[in-house]
Amino acid sequence: MRSQFLEAIETAESWLDQLKGGPGLSPTCPLGDHHIKALLSACDQEEINTLIETADYARKVFMGNQVHLRGIIEFSNHCARNCWYCGLRRDNTCLRRYRMPLRDIVAAAREGAKLGFKTIVLQSGDDLWYSASMIRQMVESIKQEVDVAITLSIGEREFSEYEEMRAAGADRFLLKHETADPDLYARLHPGMTLDGRVERLKYLHRLGFQVGSGNIVGLPGQTIDVLARDICLMRDLDVEMAGIGPFIPHPATPLAGYPPGDMMTVLKVLATCRIVMPWAHLPATTACGTLDPNGRQKALRAGANVIMPDITPAEYKALYEIYPGKNRVDIDAARGYQLAVEMIISLGREVGQGYGHSSRHRPAPAA
């Protein structure tokens, strides 16, 4: 009798073969929730290898051999929220806080573009000190100076603020849902709800942003069922990017005593995402590289097609400590770019050319 895992792989393979016609075709993914759970439950080495090879095949067919580089500028580590797993949480009084002035942000973007980045990611905690018009000014100033796509990763805002940011010319918005279990979400995010996050993701899509979500793998209380729901949620939201990274405990948070997520589960989630959402951009996340020295290479072999080196100036970089060891202060933007290129080439892949937009991208309004 075929195992549920093999049935899920065969269903995936036949769907992927039908889809080879190109991204214009997007019939509904036939993988049901039970298939997704079966893929995530791959347990022996043979099943895990099959899962990863199928994901790598899907990546090759639908995303090609290119790995896109996105330069991240973490422009503020202030945060109004108190997420239980995050070192930037409001109650972490041990952290020295910073806000980069506009001229430093634009200079870092200019430097990133000079190195070759075609996307700049502007990331911060949920720092409401930056009004929508300040973010607008940030986006417009960068776009006036350099030819890059801009991703915003600045958390939850009013819908009208997202409208202003889109009108300024921001191309993408990253807002990870973190966990699709509403109770776990509410426990880990005091004062916030999963519904509120999902409504924002839907609205960002309606505004024409390329939308990214993602989860944390290995959170206390998480099960395979919850991880399967994470993937189903991202599939149903039709996200264009999905950031999958391990939980890494931070000593100044309520989750300090819990063990980190494990790399194999991260790879299974990533590979399953690639199979279920073959056209999505999937980064080999920094957290993978922090948990395992070869974590990003492993992720790139399991379906990932994006690397996001940190190009925040050294004086701020160490202070953006979502989890310990996140940023290497000894690696500047130029060295980070070079190391990423070397990694891509060592895996027989190519550095992405162009902006690396989603295949269903709609241009941002002219700023």
Binding site for ligand SF4 (CB under 6 A): 79, 81, 83, 86, 88-89, 125-126, 155, 322
When the beta carbons of 197 and 298 are compared against ligand SF4, the nearer one is 197
Residues 171, 208 contacting (CB under 8 angstroms): no
Q: How far is the CB of 81 from ligand SF4 (least distance, A)?
A: 4
Q: How far is the CB of 101 from ligand SF4 (least distance, A)?
A: 20
When the beta carbons of 178 and 240 are compared against ligand SF4, the nearer one is 178
When the beta carbons of 125 and 243 are compared against ligand SF4, the nearer one is 125
Put residue 218 in one of left, alpha, beta given phi > 0 → left and psi -120 to 50 → alpha: left
When the beta carbons of 192 and 333 are compared against ligand SF4, the nearer one is 192
Q: How far is the CB of 125 from ligand SF4 (least distance, A)?
A: 4
The helix (run of H) or strand (run of E) holding residue 267 is helix 263-276
Judge residue 109's burial from the number of C-beta atoms within 10 Å of its C-beta, 0-12 exposed, 13-18 middle, 19 or more buried: buried
Q: How far is the CB of 178 from ligand SF4 (least distance, A)?
A: 8
Judge residue 206's burial from the number of C-beta atoms within 10 Å of its C-beta, 0-12 exposed, 13-18 middle, 19 or more buried: exposed
Q: Which amino acid is at 204?
A: L
When the beta carbons of 84 and 203 are compared against ligand SF4, the nearer one is 84
Closest CA to 283 of 243, 240, 245, 322: 243
Backbone angles phi, psi at 182, to 5 degrees: -60, -35
Q: How far is the CB of 78 from ligand SF4 (least distance, A)?
A: 9
